[in-house]
Amino acid sequence: MPLRCIDPTGKSVHSFDLSDEEWDALKLENTNARHLRMPCCNSPVVLKQSHLGTRFFAHRMFGVRNNCGETEVHLEVKNMVVEAVRRQGWTAETEVTGQAPDGEQWRADVLAQKGNARAAVEIQWSGQTNDETLRRQERYKQCGIRGLWLLRQPDFPVAHSLPAVCLGGNLRDGFTALIPHYGAQMNARDRNHFTQWRQAMPLREFLDAAFSGRFRFGVPLDTEARVTVLGAETTCWACPAKTRKVTGIIVEVGFVVAFAISYSRRQLLANAAIAASRVGS
């Protein structure tokens, strides 16, 4: 269910660029002339509309099955990406193909550009191994393109080299961008429990943040942090004298707070290190 087709001159035609009147006129023209083609396989095109009202281009099959189609979910999310990219002053094209330096072909769901910066957004609804995701990310990097991944699978590596979120929600209730804690192992059922994630926000808000420059990995160097050490009075184990011990450490960077507590010094230091790393993730 692509949002793009090509006309006889090879020019891209995007469904989201057309007014209602232009869409109706193009639909009538294509019905008579059959002049539009799919960029993926040069198949003739039929103009359609999803149940949610999103317009798209479909293959005119003539009874022959092909593998170029997309689900309605993929279509709706892709349309949301294009709208967000353009709201933030970027240009956006869908189903864009290219070639890596080693000759391997790639195809981006959405390719955004602003000045010299280019970013590919991949909507990966089906399962994909982490190795394959990282390999495809590296391929974009070799082409001078940043990659942003919207993954349905929840357990993916959290790393500076892989900007990614998990997609929760559905077509009926809307989609949510879920950001895991650093090092956390998330499962498919966790998509329904937003409180278990580092952050959970409507997908629209996340996309706006990403393309306005507000999506960051970790805390920038030289950022000031506030550290609060908690203590309590106790009795020395070797004598009856009263003493104080550290029971907790709180690390705050802006509005981000991490908390470590333990009655064991060794465990406390380990928990504090984990807390500090989570502030920076």
Whole-number pLDDT of residue 67: 45
> Where do the domains of the chain lie?
4-67, 73-211, 226-279
Whole-number pLDDT of residue 140: 95
Whole-number pLDDT of residue 116: 93
Q: For domain 73-211, give the fold.
A: Trna Endonuclease; Chain: A, domain 1 (3.40.1350)
pTM of the model: 0.64
Whole-number pLDDT of residue 64: 41
Whole-number pLDDT of residue 219: 63
Whole-number pLDDT of residue 263: 45
Whole-number pLDDT of residue 280: 47
Whole-number pLDDT of residue 85: 94
pLDDT along the chain (281 residues), means of 10: 79 83 86 81 80 76 50 83 93 89 91 94 89 94 95 88 90 88 82 86 92 77 78 81 81 66 51 50 45
HEC assignment per residue over the chain: CCCEEECCCCCEEEHHHCCHHHHHHHHHHHHHHCCCECCCCCCEEEEEECCCCCEEEEECCCCCCCCCCCCHHHHHHHHHHHHHHHHCCCEEEEEEEEECCCCCEEEEEEEEEECCEEEEEEEECCCCCHHHHHHHHHHHHHCCCEEEEEECCCCCCCECCECEEEEEEECCCEEEEEECCCCCCCCHHHHHCHHHCCEEEEHHHHHHHHHCCCCCCCCCCCCCCEEEEEEEEEECCCCCCEEEEEEEEEEEECCEEEEEECCCHHHHHHHHHHHHHHHCC
